[in-house]
Structure 1
Amino acid sequence: MPQQSSSASTAWAPTLRRSVRLFRAFRVEQTDPDRFYGELAADAVGHVSRYQPLPGSRMLDVGGGPGYFRDAFEGASATYFALDADVGELSGLGDISARTVVGSGMQLPFADGTFDLCYSSNVLEHVSDPWRMADEMVRVTRPGGLVFISYTVWFGPWGGHETSPWHYLGGRRARRRYLRRHGHEPKNRFGESLFAVTVRAGRAWASTQTGADVLDVVPRYNPGWARWLSSVPLLREVITWNLVIVLRRR
């Protein structure tokens, strides 16, 4: 069972109202990123706090991006480190912040057991070897520390990102269609910066990795009473927009 260990954890709950709020914010990711990422970052602080207290934690955000999550986690008194392969993403809100590293999530430039918390949100589907990145996140987390991985599911409604829902006809076909309609490639290019990552693959990795105990495998945006969706083959791939895997490092 998750540890209820901070005031943030008691305030956060996977209610239907929360799901509706996040889905509404999700719809404006492209047009109003401040609203979307601000909402998601604030929600992430509460979600993570269910399992481990944040004050004083040394944390790494793999694929940290421009800083929305930095502000939220530092506001909860965590010591925040970020890693991203894209300098443009890191500088999206201005100057690149301190404790920021440019590097690959599939080869994290940190020693074993460096962090109390290793966190990643909506990054796994953008790397060519996602489970290598997941293994790396476990490696750099100290024994007793928390690993929190969240990713967009390929067969969910938003699996193709801006090429959705045409990704259901194939990622490369959806990419070509986007190019024809808009005159330029999508930001998330299937086969280069977007890959098909499934609920099944996430559950398989979680059950076979040996470095951590699995605390939760749940849909991120769905209300708590719908958590059973992530365990129903086929249905889970379509209904789950985003999957969360939470582990405790051994």
Structure 2
Amino acid sequence: MPTWRSPAGRSPALRRFAESATLGRSVDLLSQFRFEQTDPARFYGAVARDTVDLTNALWTQSTGTDLRDALVLDVGGGPGYFEDAFAELGATYIPVEPDPAEAHAAGLTATRGIRGSGLALPVADGAVDVCLSSNVAEHVPDPWAMGAEMLRVTRPGGLMILSYTLWYGPFGGHEMGLTHYAGGARAARWYARRHGRPPKNLYGTSLFKVTAADGLRWAQTVTGAHLVAAFPRYHPAWAWWIVRIPGLRELLASNLVLVFVKE
């Protein structure tokens, strides 16, 4: 039986992270989202710390060791907001980013950044210990092709962590707010009319409808790796059960994390 059908908190892969997935953590992260556009360093700093905590907990649960000396590839990592946080644990962090503007955003440039597409990663097979992607899958036209590429570059025994924003959740429209419930194209038109410019995350071009059901269905087709956890990233552990409820998970999960171990 796939892990995601069982109570999420019972998954062995999640046991360590569940200890830190408290209501206080959820409230703190939620409070940071309003700074994504106005103060990205503050927003991404908070997300970076949480991403490292999540990755380290999953890695430690899987391998019995922390991330020291691990090679971490971050697909869609922008300018490397997460680099310092991973370096504190002794991990080598490499972001992959296709857009030069994003790769140099906020005056940052990662020391080991790679320019490339998540749909065709310029990385050898089985080259990294951990391949992760945080809130990127909803911005590519074929997120599951990206997922397959992420698994390709992960070494046997390594982790692939794919975390993405759900379209029908409250943050699915990104800066368009809740207007995305009226349809992505309509929400984009309303945003442009109000602000005099199109949204950064333009529906159908740089923002796409991706659901929890999509990801869970894809996970069932994956070969050469097995799904060890699926849970709502920003929720406290006691609320992870919502991933098991079709429909409800689309509205309330907000962000789904799929965790695979490469065989």
TM-score range, shorter chain: over 0.9
1:40-189 to 2 correspondence within 5 Å? 40-52=47-59, 53-94=66-107, 96-189=109-202
Residue of structure 1 in register with 2:29 after alignment? 22
Unaligned runs of 5+ in 1: none
Residue 62 to residue 12, structure 1, CA distance change in 2 (3 Å): farther
Do the aligned partners of 1:58 and 1:115 also contact (CA within 8 Å) in 2?
yes
Question: In structure 2, what is the equivalent of residue 2 of structure 1?
Answer: 13
Question: Which deviates more, 66-75 or 184-193?
Answer: 66-75
The answer on whether the counterparts of 2:80 and 2:108 sit within 8 Å (CA) in structure 1 is no
CA RMSD between the two structures:
1.5
Instruction: Classify 1:200/1:3 alpha carbon distance in 2 versus 1 (closer, same or farther; 3 Å).
Output: closer
Q: How many angstroms does 1:231 deviate by?
A: 1.4
Alpha carbons 1:12, 1:46 under 8 Å: kept: no
The size of the alignment, in residue pairs, is 246
Q: Give the counterpart letter for 1:135 in structure 2.
A: A
Q: Distance in 1 between matches of 2:55 and 2:230?
A: 13
Q: Which amino acid aligns with 2:189?
A: R
Residue 51 of structure 1: SS of its match in structure 2? helix
Correspondence for 1:245: 258
Gaps of 5+ in 2: 1-11, 60-65
Q: Determine if contact 1:60/1:119 at 8 Å carries over to the other structure.
A: yes
Aligned partners of 2:199, 2:46: CA distance in 1, in Å? Answer: 24
Moved more, 230-239 or 44-53: 44-53
1:235 matched residue in structure 2:
248
Whether the 8 Å CA contact 1:11–1:46 is kept in 2: the answer is no
C-alpha deviation, 1:12, in angstroms = 6.0
| CA deviation vs aligned residue, 1:120-140 (integer Å, no higher than 9, x gap) | 101000000100000100000
Deviation (angstroms), 1:206: 1.3
Q: Using the TM superposition, give the Cα deviation of residue 98 of structure 1 relative to its aligned residue in structure 2, in angstroms.
A: 2.7
> Larger % of helix: which?
2
Matched-pair contact (CA < 8 Å) for 1:12–1:47: no
Please list the CA deviations of residues 34-89 of structure 1 after superposition, one character each: whole Å capped at 9, or x if unmatched: 22111111011111111212110011000011222111111211111110011111
TM-score relative to the length of structure 2: 0.90
